[in-house]
A = this chain, B = another copy of it.
Amino acid sequence: MGNGEETLGTIDRAATISEVAALAGVSPGTASKALNGRGALRPETRQRVQEAAEQLGFVANAAARSLQAGRTYTVGMITTDSIGRFSIPLLIGAEDALGAGQVSVFLCDARDDPIREQYYLRTLLGRQVDGIIVTGRRTQARHPIGPSLPVPVVYAFISSTDPADCSVVPDEADGARRAIDHLLAIGRRRIAHVTGPEHHHSATVRASATMQTLASAGLEPVAPILFGEWSEAWGRQAAGILLSTEAPVDAVFCGSDQIARGLAEALQEAGRRVPADIALIGFDNWDVMVDGCRPALTSIDMDLEGIGRTAAELLLAAINGEPAHGRHALPGRLVPRASTAVYPVL
């Protein structure tokens, strides 16, 4: 019939709706109506068109469609920091919420470079994305990505310094609170906090929530808060510092799972039992760390997928004319494991 659509080799060219229409013996306009369930058509005509479309493997050209619809059913996702451990769950969550809505995602990795970021922003706008999600590795607020954009923007994990922008972030203070509450609930009172660098937003937020929660229980940390870096090595080092303190420690809340794991190793090498002598809580609930640690590590899960999903949902709402504003903080979740088990459980 046509010009070789039955070839077994590579299909050279996608079929157009005009070809479908010709095969079904109708006009292109009618074919469009048939395939999209619009207009007034006889059921048999509709079916004839559908069969023709199937036979030719017709898929509507999205460029033509968006040209006339003024919408692309496409969003951009810019990760300001390189795609990493935090970006991925966010990405999965967002992709989840958008994929269900037939929206495709352009992924852009700006690598923490403002030039690349602006370049990608222009590219995305040129591609007429319906909206943009901005993501990063740190929760710290950042400058808005552009002054006044023709499409809605939602910040995920990071937040924008402009309160009118929409941001979805983890409630890190809430996470710290849950951690301390848990340690109090299992009867620990001599609690220390070891965390990342003092200039890091997450570290300070979690540290001050830790202080506050202890204070409202009438306690204070058994040692000054230990700021260091987000690594196992620092966890090991911190263990040494804590053990040389005069005051005995019976629990440590760590700012990350890596720190906690380093601490666990070093404490046990020094003869302390976990959790019998010292209970341990991490932060992030990073599978390889919490499972690799011995004993398995209790941790705070920030529900990154949920953040990605929520951001995508808010973006879709904004695209549909119902923009949200401000900072939406999502609560975390404590995942109890052996490192805080009440002892005679075993």
Which A residues lie at the B interface, using CB under 8 A? 7-14, 59-64, 66-67, 72, 74, 77, 82-84, 88, 91-92, 95, 99, 102, 104-109, 122-128, 148-150, 231-233, 258, 261-262, 288-289, 291-292
25 A-B pairs with C-beta separation under 8 A:
A7-B148, A11-B150, A14-B128, A14-B150, A59-B125, A61-B126, A61-B128, A63-B63, A63-B127, A63-B128, A64-B67, A74-B127, A82-B92, A83-B92, A84-B88, A88-B88, A91-B107, A95-B109, A99-B109, A102-B123, A104-B106, A104-B108, A105-B107, A262-B292, A288-B289
The reply to whether B292 and A150 form a contact with Cβ atoms under 8 Å apart is no
Closest chain B CB from A114 CB (angstroms): 16
Chain B residues, CB < 8 A from A232: 291-292
CA distance A7 to B147 in the complex (A): 11
Closest chain B CB from A82 CB (angstroms): 7
Chain B residues, CB < 8 A from A95: 107-109
> Which residue of the partner chain B has the closest CB to A62?
B127
Known: A62-B63, A232-B291. 15 other contacts (CB 8 A): A8-B148, A10-B149, A11-B148, A11-B149, A14-B150, A60-B126, A61-B67, A61-B126, A63-B66, A63-B127, A83-B92, A91-B107, A106-B106, A233-B291, A288-B289
> With A63-B66, A92-B82 known to touch, is A14 a contact of B125 (CB < 8 Å)?
yes
Closest chain B CB from A317 CB (angstroms): 16
